[in-house]
Amino acid sequence: MQQIPVSLWTLIAGIVVTAISIWIGQNHTLLPVQASLQAPLVDGFFNIMFTIAIALFLVVEGTIVVFLIKFRRRQGDDTDGAPIEGNLPLEVFWTAIPTLIVLALGIYSVDVFNRMGGFEPAGHPHSSAHIAHTPGSALAATLNDTSEATTAPTIGIGASPTTQGKQADLVVDVKGIQYAWIFNYPDSGITSGELHVPVGADVQLNLSAQDVIHSFWVPNFRLKQDALPGIPTELRFVATRPGTYPVVCAELCGGYHGSMRTQVVVHTPEAYDSWRTENQIAQKQDLHQVVAVNPADLSTSAFLAPHIHDMGISTVTLESMVKRSQR
């Protein structure tokens, strides 16, 4: 019986390895649902790297298994192995192929980074809300009329090549503090603990940190950008799928780092307009400062003062009633 040539076996093995690698690389379920315009770019790059990794794994482990079987020690064979000192063509091959792969992936990754906007962080000044802690409350934010211009971001994911030179549809100032994210909408004066954006809108996040380095990561968007104290950074994206997606701090920022989570809510345009209107009404007050107050710290008069109209009494009557109750 004629022996099958090694070259034919190699060709068959190459076809099988290629088919398996491509199928697994394109049909895995390792990544969450795509929800941004940038996500397919990252997933395409990941799928190629994963395909190459599967192929290398099959070749290396397959070769080991074949050699274990073919060159195993036979019973009664006590001779030494063949004195092989090296194989220059083989060494050049297994050095050149990984080098070419790494170079190709490097060039591809730069192209993906550029198409995502990594080479063009925006240069537009933005306003930021003043954030402060208040006893008895989680947080408070001033909504005074004066806005403080800050340095334009020069680090981060900016406009893509197709949107360079264009203003973002929505700008949100994001501040990371131990251990929460605060979102301020300069155009509407809304301050929120969640990020709300309309689907299909070009959104620009101006990131900053109050204390230590934080990292704003939305797995479904395939986007992550550090928030640095004293150094403004930017993250620009377009959400493509309505829904609610987790926002995670991906930089160890202290003892409660694991609980520094919130969510980004992607609305339809109509639902976003409704959310914006409701929150503008809820947060619109003729005060220099809007704060959350612990009722236990208020006097009886101060606690009841906002309700005197509903009670049908005057301020004088309320003061008189409080004084009589304290006697």
Do 164 and 111 lie in one domain? The reply is no
User: Do 175 and 159 meet the contact criterion of CB atoms below 8 Å apart?
Assistant: no
* CA-only gyration radius of the chain, Å: 31
Do 50 and 112 lie in one domain? The reply is yes
- What would the two tokens of residue 105 be? 């992936």
> Strands, DSSP E only, in the chain?
126-128, 130-132, 140-142, 148-150, 155-157, 170-177, 180-185, 190-192, 195-198, 202-209, 214-218, 223-227, 233-238, 243-249, 261-267
Contacts of 124 (CB under 8 A, 6+ apart): 152, 167, 171, 204
CA distances 234 to 18, 54, 86, 241, 276, Å, are 40, 35, 52, 22, 23
Out of 116, 135, 152, a domain closes at 116
* Residue 64 belongs to a domain: yes
Query: Which of 251, 252, 208 lies closest to 230, judged by CA?
Result: 208
Do 40 and 132 lie in one domain? The reply is no
Do 261 and 141 lie in one domain? The reply is yes
* Residue 311 belongs to a domain: no
CA distances 70 to 5, 63, 64, 74, 117, Å, are 16, 10, 10, 10, 52
Do 112 and 134 lie in one domain? The reply is no
User: Do 235 and 160 meet the contact criterion of CB atoms below 8 Å apart?
Assistant: no
* Residue 211 belongs to a domain: yes
Do 108 and 40 lie in one domain? The reply is yes
pTM of the model: 0.70
User: Do 213 and 253 meet the contact criterion of CB atoms below 8 Å apart?
Assistant: yes
- What was the pLDDT predicted at 166? 87
Do 93 and 156 lie in one domain? The reply is no
Query: Which of 123, 186, 172, 175 lies closest to 152, judged by CA?
Result: 123
- Give the separation between CA 18 and CA 305, rounded to whole angstroms: 76
Straight-line distance from the first to the last Cα atom of the chain, in angstroms, rounded to the nearest whole number: 116
* Residue 321 belongs to a domain: no
Do 175 and 109 lie in one domain? The reply is no
Three-class SS of residue 304?
helix
* Residue 240 belongs to a domain: yes
Do 52 and 192 lie in one domain? The reply is no
- What was the pLDDT predicted at 270? 93
Do 100 and 194 lie in one domain? The reply is no
Q: Judging by beta carbons within 10 Å of its beta carbon (0-12, 13-18, 19+), is residue 172 exposed, middle or buried?
A: buried
Do 137 and 277 lie in one domain? The reply is yes
DSSP state of 295: G
- What was the pLDDT predicted at 218? 96
* Residue 318 belongs to a domain: no
In this structure, what CATH number is given to the domain that contains residue 174?
2.60.40.420
How many CA within 13 A on the CB side of residue 168? Answer: 31
Burial 54-88 (b: 16+ CB within 10 A, else e): bbeebeeeeeeeeeeeeeeeeeeeeeeeeeeeeee
Out of 81, 97, 116, a domain closes at 116
* Residue 300 belongs to a domain: no
Mean pLDDT by runs of 10 across the 327 residues of the chain is: 76 92 93 94 95 95 91 84 83 92 95 88 44 36 38 78 86 94 92 94 94 96 94 94 96 93 95 90 61 62 68 71 69
- What was the pLDDT predicted at 308? 66
- What would the two tokens of residue 154 be? 């020069």
Domain of residue 142, residue span: 126-283
In the chain, count of helices (H) and strands (E)? Answer: 7, 15
Q: How many domains does the chain have?
A: 2
* Residue 188 belongs to a domain: yes
Do 97 and 141 lie in one domain? The reply is no
Out of 116, 135, 170, a domain closes at 116
- What would the two tokens of residue 305 be? 């003062």
